[in-house]
Structure 1
Amino acid sequence: MEKQKGNRQLNTMIILLLIVGLLSFFIFSFVQYYRKMDTKIADQTRLDLKTTNDTAKASLQSLLKDNQNWLESLAMICDVPDGTGQENWWDIVRRFDSKGLKLGVADKKGNIYYSDHKRQKIADRTYYKSLMRDQSSISKVLMDKEEGTESIIIGVPLVRDGKVKGAVCLEYSTMELGRMLNGKELKGTGAVLVFSKKGNVAASYKGMEKFHTMYEMLDTMKYDDSSELPAMEANIQKGNSGYLYYHNNGKLRMLYYEPAGISDWYICTLAVAETYEETLYSLKRETLFLMLKGTMITILLFIFSLRFFRLHRSEKKENTKDALTGSLNRKNFQRILEKDLKSKRRYIACFFLDIDDFKGVNDTYGHQRGDEVLTGVASCLRKSLREKDVVSRYGGDEFTCLIYGTKDRKKIEEIAGRVLRSVTAENHVNISIGITLIKDGDSYGQVIERADSALYEAKIRGKNQYVIL
């Protein structure tokens, strides 16, 4: 009896030790998991912030470059300012007189003319002197004492017979430039600011007008380490990029800054780190729960995962890919588009394209070469489009693509042009593209019919081009 009791006690002790050991293992595992996930979430948050900032940087460079190109075109047809008020550019100047945006034409004497024949002296401005040396220029941040606003000026020289006769200038207020950068594409991802190394703000947003510099605004925030802001300033003076963390109204905020690639400007994105904090808090609760219920939950999750995997695997038996090109097949493309039309409407445009004179490739070089061309074109489409866009082989030498997100017709045209150039360069064949913008209430058949009609129009017009209907 005593021996049996001793054995039971020993068995109980062994079981207890096993339970303690198992719980210790789970506690250690989940603490390690928590630390690892904390690091991973923080890294992903930083990466998302940098990606947003890179997008804003590309938008800024594109905006200024497009404006400069437009000004150069305008300068080619503008009359040289002669003070008569009869020059051919007055109507254009008046059209661009709005809050935050002004167009002006300057003469060689340093007078710039705005709408209603308003004249201003700019002979002593650095950007004007550059223009008179036949150099396109983007000014530093300028202060308008009369209106109490700050602005930047994009200018190009007005040249006739090889000599500079004046300049055409487009003036953006810092608030207007900031409004354009913080547009729909970046909405909800964080506020974008552009500033010089000295902290003068070139692209601003509401609330920043009460601060003289970017550093003055950041100096009002709270930091875990008081050396963070001076370290950021020193980093910027060296031309480096980096992150800054601070607290405002009790919320953690993150800022990523990098050179804008224009003058001595820097561009930064500020975001409230709510997602990071919420995820971290949720992770803490989950870790505690898993530590207390580890063994039971692991077993349940294991059983559930096995059953779910088998169910999921049986539902996924149908092949969704085209066997030759690796792109989505027509049936799956139709399923994706029909689902999107009925719900979120994330896809904005549909491309319908085929390879020009593809029959000639098969007839001349054989079907193996034709298959190589199809595979190459499919690969090129996937590389030329973005990750969220959809590429499908519709049939034969025809492909369909869904363009995600952007409603900007120019952006869609840029994508189409990039696809045309890329396919020709990499595969030595030409393609024609029919494009339709997807509308509310469209059915799958209507989208495909319009895109197909646009493709037919592209063929009629001579191939190797895109048409939007």
Structure 2
Amino acid sequence: MINHRDGNHYLPKIMGMFGLVVSIIAGILAMNLYYFREVEKSLVDQTYRDIKLENDKILSYLQNLTESKLEWLELFASFSDPPDGSGNESWWELVAENEKETSRLGVADDKGTIYYGNHETADISGRAYYQKVLKGEKNVSRLLPGGFEGQDGIVLAVPIIRDSKVKGAACLEYSAAEIEKYLDDSPLSRYGANFIFTQEGQIMVSSSGIDQKDTVFELLKDMEFRDGQSLEQMREVVKSGQAGFLIYYENNKKRLLLFQPTGIEDWMTASLVEAERYESMLNRIRGLTLGFITSSTLMLVCAILLILGILHYRKKEEKRAQKDYLTGVYTRETARKLVSQGLKGVGNKRFYACMFLDIDDFKKINDTFGHHKGDLVLVEVGQILNACTRQEDVIVRFGGDEFCIWLFGMRGRKQPEAIAARILNAFNISGNIHASIGITLVGENENDYDAILKRADEALYQAKRKGKNQYAVKR
């Protein structure tokens, strides 16, 4: 039984413990208050870094698209007959092959009449891009409303020059809808939008999150600007062709807009996000806040155990699906495990063909242009092989400039040959790569990984001996 002396003895301890608890709670609240203030300051900076990264991806996509298409057009123009209206020119078959839903190839004469693969003609003599071609300039047009089969589109054009005179033009019309798909597929499209506009402000192509306005200035004219920023200030920056970062408010909600020149005519790319809806940043805030609030020993131990569990899980996943750091395809070690397991399947649940690929004259590329160019070629090879195969197929960087492709689930000799032809065609279109491919089929009960690989390697050397830039099949 506790008497008054005992009570007086325990009261300071109880008050001390109560004071300690109150102090801890007050400290946590103060730390969170300070933390949220710092987060508010850093939110814009972090968002800027993320949308800059996303905008750079769009910029790279546009530059790669136009550069690769213009390079291909220049090659086409170098061997094409100038149009004479006879219908017997050397390029008709190739023009017809390039009649697609998203693009089409045309050849114009020096009077401005353009010929398409379906033998239709049109007068482009008044087009600005054609006038530049007559001056010997390759160029990319502005957005042409209804210019591509009734759709908005752009035109990439290069001159056909003979005896130092422009005799015509090779023109590739490209649907703006294809670029819109890329803009809509951006991770930012959930929290904002991307679009392309000119230095005059005309919106050329936009993702679905953009209001249907003719110009970017019309889009922003009713917005609220703070901290010394203004729409007129943006006009001046855009007019000068410089990059810029803008913060504005719509219905008191913060918006962030980043824009930068593309280096293609007077195009500029832009990305905007709603700061309050920027999910990845908010998730970081929630995670850090949870760390401040749950600072007890028990929660710390749980967090450590969770981190260790995650690290253990990630380590197992990395061992199971290790990728080549440069090309993004599987390494030899990982591929051996995956394919060896896949060869144990039956019917359509196993690998049915192996392709061994070697880049022709890759050493010459390294010696002539340097290893950086060689690395870029290897990256492009990985991208093309991924594009020409399915997710269930296994692509392997076997070593150096050698790649291996294991085709899964189908049957028949013609299918791997068609895939090999598609790969070679994609390499040829790229203008940078030629390769030789060896193909071997996998028997229904065959599961010797090394033996199959050896046959494919022998087929590769058959292709090399036949003259390179082709494929060979060894049964």
TM-score, L = length of structure 2: 0.61
Identical pairs, percent: 27
Deviation at 1:23, TM superposition (A): 1.7
Matches within 5 A, 1:325-340: none
Query: Does the CA-based 8 Å contact 2:144-2:154 persist in structure 1?
Result: yes
Q: Is the 2:189–2:209 contact (alpha carbons within 8 Å) kept by the matching residues of 1?
A: no
The answer on whether the counterparts of 1:113 and 1:120 sit within 8 Å (CA) in structure 2 is no
Structure 1 contact 71–168 (Cα < 8 Å) conserved: yes
**Alignment partners' CA distance in 2, 1:132 and 1:42:** 47
The answer to whether structure 1 residue 433 and structure 2 residue 433 are counterparts is no
The correspondence for 2:269, drawn from 267, 270, 286, is 267
For 1:358, the equivalent position in structure 2 comes to none
Number of positions where the alignment pairs a residue of Structure 1 with one of Structure 2:
396
| C-alpha distance in 2 between matches for 1:275 and 1:101 | 36
> Counterpart of 1:119?
122
Equivalent in the alignment of 2:158? 156
Give the 5 Å matches for 1:7-406. Answer: 7-36=9-38, 43-97=45-99, 101-114=103-116, 115-123=118-126, 125-143=127-145, 150-173=152-175, 175-179=176-180, 181-182=182-183, 191-205=193-207, 210-219=212-221, 227=229, 229-244=231-246, 254-270=256-272, 276-277=278-279, 280=282, 283=285, 287=289, 291=293, 294-295=295-296, 298-302=297-301, 305=304, 309=308
Residues in 2 aligned to 1:129 and 1:340: alpha-carbon distance in whole angstroms: 58
Partner of 1:398: none
Whole-Å Cα distance in 2 between the matches of residues 449 and 241 of structure 1?
57
Conserved? CA contact 2:125–2:131, under 8 Å: no
State the 1:146 CA deviation: 11
Q: Which runs of 5+ in 2 are unaligned?
A: 346-353, 359-370, 412-441
User: What's the Cα RMSD here?
Assistant: 5.6
| AA aligned opposite 1:199 | G
Conservation of the 8 A alpha-carbon contact between 1:178 and 1:193: no
TM-score by length of 1: 0.62
In structure 2, relative to structure 1, the CA distance for the partners of 1:243 and 1:133 (3 Å cut) is same
Q: Structure 1: how far apart are the matches of 2:39 and 2:128?
A: 52
Which residue is equivalent to 2:361? none
Task: State the distance in 1 between where 2:186 and 2:63 align.
Answer: 15
Change (3 A) 1:21 1:66: same
Q: What runs of 5+ residues in structure 1 fail to find an aligned partner?
A: 343-349, 355-376, 387-402, 424-430
Deviations 1:431-465 (A, max 9, x none): 4513215646999x7988766655554466669x9
Residue of structure 1 in register with 2:419 after alignment: none
Shift of 1:156: 1.0
Corresponding letter in the other structure for 2:125 = I
C-alpha distance in 2, partners of 1:122/1:244? 40
Alignment correspondent of 2:429: none
Please state how far the C-alpha of 1:159 moved relative to its aligned partner.
Answer: 1.3
**Structure 2 equivalent of residue 359 of structure 1:** none
Tell whether the 8 Å contact from 2:355 to 2:406 is kept in structure 1 after alignment: no
3-state secondary structure, aligned to 2:32? helix
User: Is the CA contact (8 Å cut-off) linking 1:455 and 1:467 kept in structure 2?
Assistant: no
SS at structure 2 position matched to 1:407: helix
Give the C-alpha shift of residue 158 in structure 1.
0.9
CA 180–303 in structure 1, closer or farther in 2 if over 3 Å, else same: closer
Shift in Å at residue 260 of structure 1?
0.8
